[in-house]
A and B are shown apart, each in its own frame.
Chain A
Amino acid sequence: DIQLTQSPSFLSASVGDRVTITCRASQGISSYLAWYQQKPGKAPKLLIYAASTLQSGVPSRFSGSGSGTEFTLTISSLQPEDFATYYCQQVNSFPHLTFGGGTKVEIK
């Protein structure tokens, strides 16, 4: 199975900060990676797919980059509604999909 390692697992940031989350794959996955946002008590929400394509309706302050084994999710200016847990997901080994362990973004 392809393992995804997210870092950091927790980060504390202020409104307006630029935030970067990293996801590393245990083997190359091309660009077959998505990012999801999950708020407490809510279902995950697709933010970015194919490593860098913004899902419809998602604010442009979110962006994704990377290919192969290293990927990043960047929030250019953190907003109050962005405090949540973020997960990466690989679909390269479809149908056996895997998720990263998550990164919790909290208010400093």
Chain B
Amino acid sequence: QVQLVESGGGVVQPGRSLRVSCAASGFTFSTYPMHWVRQAPGKGLEWVALISYDGSTKYYADAVKGRFTISRDNSKNTLYLQMNSLRAEDTALYYCARWGSSGYHDHWGQGTLVTVSS
């Protein structure tokens, strides 16, 4: 079955960097676009970034453009989000999500919590 497992979250000071990962299994990872979606504590969902199946195309929300970089390693079935110049407002649970053939997020991981605090 499809599994997405995020890791790498933690507490980081404002202005510092952090990389979170998402290990995929149970499907042919290299054929699916992938997204990151975040959720601040007690708040709603916010789309963060998208990468095409082969990594050639990437898009970002305005709130993270220029600071975050999405990437993937299809040989390792792993999705990444490199987060630089972190701010308090980046504090959230970060989910990876598969972009299914239906054109929507059909599978989600359990999330990894990133807390930006001094």
Count of chain B residues with a beta carbon within 8 Å of a chain A beta carbon: 19
Nearest B residue to A102 via CB reads B44
Q: Which of B35, B45, B50, B106 contacts A87 (CB 8 A)?
A: B45
Q: How far is the CA of A95 from the CA of B104 in the complex (A)?
A: 11
A3 to chain B, nearest CB (A): 12
Interfacial chain A residues near B44, Cβ < 8 Å: 87, 99-102
Q: How far is the CA of A96 from the CA of B110 in the complex (A)?
A: 22
Q: How many inter-chain contacts with C-beta < 8 Å in the A-B complex? A: 52
Q: How far is the CA of A44 from the CA of B39 in the complex (A)?
A: 11
List A residues at the B interface (Cβ < 8 Å). 32, 34, 36, 42-46, 49-50, 53, 55, 87, 89, 91, 94-102
8 closest A-B pairs by beta carbon, nearest first, are A43-B108, A95-B59, A97-B47, A99-B45, A49-B104, A34-B104, A95-B50, A102-B44
List B residues at the A interface (Cβ < 8 Å). 35, 44-47, 50, 59, 61, 95, 100, 102-106, 108-111
A sample of 27 cross-chain residue pairs with beta-carbon separation below 8 angstroms, ordered by A number, consists of A34-B104, A34-B105, A43-B95, A43-B108, A43-B110, A44-B45, A44-B105, A44-B108, A46-B100, A46-B104, A50-B102, A55-B102, A55-B106, A87-B44, A87-B45, A89-B45, A89-B104, A91-B103, A95-B50, A96-B47, A96-B59, A97-B47, A98-B47, A100-B44, A101-B44, A102-B44, A102-B45
